[in-house]
């Protein structure tokens, strides 16, 4: 079964907390990784790799640049996760 959007956002919040030290409650859909969450381009690679493992998705490098906000990432993961029927 797939992860719900809530599970994805909660998971991203934990990942961002681990990598950038931002409190999980501050990691909201409209937040920009770079501008709001102190995730620079190198740390974004860490976020992506951690998200890939956690949600069993592949996020190619060329798609990472489109993931500006937590909402962008959550939508991408929801659309690309492998359905575990």
Contact 44/64 with Cβ under 8 angstroms?
yes
Helix count and strand count (H, E) for the chain: 5, 0
Nearer to another protein, 20 or 78 (CB): 20
Residue 60 touching another protein (CB under 8 A): no
Rule CB under 8 A: say whether 49 interacts with another protein: yes
- Residue 45 engages another protein in binding (rule: CB under 8 A): yes
Give least dist CB 59 to another protein, A.
Answer: 10
| Residue closer to another protein, measured from CB, 6 or 61 | 61
* 23 lies in the site for another protein, by CB under 8 A: no
**Scanning the structure block, which residue is given the tokens 């909660």?**
10
CB of 48 to another protein, least distance (A): 9
Q: Cα dist. 37→11, 12, 58, 79, 85 in Å? A: 15, 12, 23, 23, 34
């Amino acid at each position: 079964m797939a992860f719900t959007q809530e599970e994805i956002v909660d998971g991203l919040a934990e990942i961002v907390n681990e990598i950038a030290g931002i409190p999980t409650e501050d990691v909201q859909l409209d937040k920009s990784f770079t501008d709001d969450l102190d995730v620079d381009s190198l740390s974004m690679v860490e976020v992506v790799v951690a998200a890939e493992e956690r949600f069993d998705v592949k996020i190619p490098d060329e798609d990472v640049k489109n993931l500006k906000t937590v909402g962008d990432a959550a939508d991408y993961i929801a659309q690309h996760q492998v359905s575990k029927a």
